[in-house]
Amino acid sequence: MARDSRTDARVRRLTFVRRIVGMALLAGLPALIVALVLLWSGPYSSQTQWTLTILMTGCWLGISLALRPRVEIPLHTLSNLLSALREGDYSLRARATRGDDPLGEVMREANLLINTLREQRLDALEATTLLRKVMEEIDVAVFAFDVSERLRLVNRAGERLLAQPAERLLGSTAAELGLGSCLQSGSHPGERVFERTFLGEPDVTARWGVSRSDFRQGGLPMQLLVITNLSRALREEELKAWQRLVRVLGHEINNSLAPIKSMAGSLEKLLGRAPRPADWEEDMQRGLRVIGGRAEALSRFTGAYARLARLPKPTFQPLEVGPWVRRVAGLETRLPVAVLPGPDMIISADGDQLEQLLINLVRNAVDASLEGGGGVRVGWKKNGANLEVWVEDDGPGISNPGNLFVPFFTTKPGGVGIGLILSRQIAEAHGGTLSLKNRLSGQGAEARLILPLRGELIH
Ligand code: ADP
């Protein structure tokens, strides 16, 4: 087929060259005829007539035919250049000719085209090489399946996961490889997490993230499967959370145990003294009160811990925003809390949980304002598809933002350090967020609760 079209092109090119030569012959013909007529009708000897006839005809034919290579050679050059390009050979160049010559311009453009194509090809090659390298080095298993769910591509991590070399895996169906459920050809592309074992990863508790997407290769639909071992990352996160918790727990328990231990030691010494001091009973009572107080604090602390671990799921019911905020502001007796109302709105939420959340925020704000002097303001507004409730104070502001939401982190003598983390858990269970930042204008902090509105009633 390709050969036929090449031959056709050659024939067409030749007829084009013949046409040019034919036109040159035609252009010279009238002049030659007139010259011959004048020559043969004039008073010349027959020897002169024949000599001039042969000379003129020879020149006419010679000059016309000399045109042929002049047209044919540049066309040949162009044709060779183009076919070399098609074969992927970018080393050929057309010879440069004079700048104002249209043929020279064609050749120069052809050379520029070759340069551009060569650069593009180099870029594409480099990108493909990089992609291949990444695919091989990445610690994520990548598989590509064709329409009949047969494996067409697998990287090194994929080979390791299935514990077989690519040559054995390629061509097998997803079901044969045990990946049928991951592929689920009818389902939409997306990500899932599941637990299972693979030959190359026999850990029974391993959790895998699977992402499936569609792409086309050579016009045919393919499915890309990317499988990641999430266990390591999850374990590292869990470990970090545990370490943080143990640090805080240790700190808190020590805070209570150290005075209990030292007080018990002092009381023991007191009892062992002979004779005992006159006010020993008073000392004894004071010591026992300290021990009782610390034990009480410890039990409050463990109670709070249990509360944090057992937060129930929210029960969604209509909740009027205005009354909710005003009720919580009214509960505070230490400082008057100003309410800056927003629009009347009814949202769908767990009223008890949101009340607890706002109490925590207002209490913290009042604690801070009592410390730094100033007031507390609460307000709300509708921001796009969200309800935003804010609580701002004129306290000293946040000095350690990294620890705020760490369970049991507190800077207050009688604090438990679960108010903020509990409030954030409630906000997130409602699909929202809770943040606490220093105010941009003026001293103090601002807590911001953002709750998504899902078709709630707005008056
Ligand atoms: P607690 O109030 O029992 O300490 P929280 O979890 O409610 O526990 O708060 C943790 C810590 O965050 C507080 O001890 C305090 O240091 C800081 N904090 C909370 N709210 C504010 C605020 N409005 N201004 C300054 N610091 C705050």
Q: Does residue 335 sit in helix, strand or coil?
A: coil
- Buried b / exposed e along 450-459 (16+ C-beta atoms within 10 A): bbebeebeee
Q: Give yes or no for residue 445 CB within 6 A of ligand 1.
A: yes
Same-domain pairing of 175 and 266: no
Domain boundary among 200, 232, 264: 232
Same-domain pairing of 146 and 213: yes
Is 176 within the bounds of a domain? yes
Q: Measured between alpha carbons, how far is residue 52 from residues 24, 45, 88, 304, 322 in Å?
A: 21, 11, 55, 125, 118
Same-domain pairing of 170 and 227: yes
Q: Give yes or no for residue 417 CB within 6 A of ligand 1.
A: yes
Is 76 within the bounds of a domain? yes
Q: What confidence score (pLDDT) does residue 344 get? A: 93
What's the gap in Å between 19 CA and the centre of ligand 1?
Answer: 95
Domain boundary among 27, 56, 89: 89
Q: How many domains does the chain have?
A: 4
Q: What confidence score (pLDDT) does residue 388 get? A: 96
Q: What confidence score (pLDDT) does residue 90 get? A: 85
Domain residues for the domain of 222 are 135-232
Higher-scoring residue by pLDDT: 172, 14:
172
Give the CATH number, domain containing residue 339. Answer: 3.30.565.10
Same-domain pairing of 417 and 436: yes
Tell me the average pLDDT across 163-172.
92
Q: Give yes or no for residue 376 CB within 6 A of ligand 1.
A: no
Q: Give yes or no for residue 416 CB within 6 A of ligand 1.
A: yes
- 170 pLDDT more than 70: yes
Q: What confidence score (pLDDT) does residue 190 get? A: 58
Confidence of residue 311 (pLDDT cuts 50, 70, 90): confident
Name which of 90-94, 193-197, 212-216, 278-282 the model is least confident about: 193-197
Domain boundary among 183, 211, 232: 232
Report the predicted TM-score, pTM, of the whole model to 2 decimal places.
0.47
What's the gap in Å between 329 CA and the centre of ligand 1?
Answer: 18
Q: Give yes or no for residue 434 CB within 6 A of ligand 1.
A: no
217-230 confidence digits (pLDDT tens): 888 899 898 988 88
User: DSSP readout, 263-318?
Assistant: HHHHHHHHHH-SSPPTTHHHHHHHHHHHHHHHHHHHHHHHHHHHHHHTPPPP--EE
Same-domain pairing of 298 and 405: no
Nearest CA to 449 out of 332, 327, 330, 324 is that of 324
Give the Cα separation of 423 and 450 in Å (integer). Answer: 12
Give the Cα separation of 305 and 320 in Å (integer). Answer: 31
Q: How many helices (H) and strands (E) does the chain have?
A: 11, 13
Give the Cα separation of 59 and 25 in Å (integer). Answer: 11
Give the CATH number, domain containing residue 199. Answer: 3.30.450.20
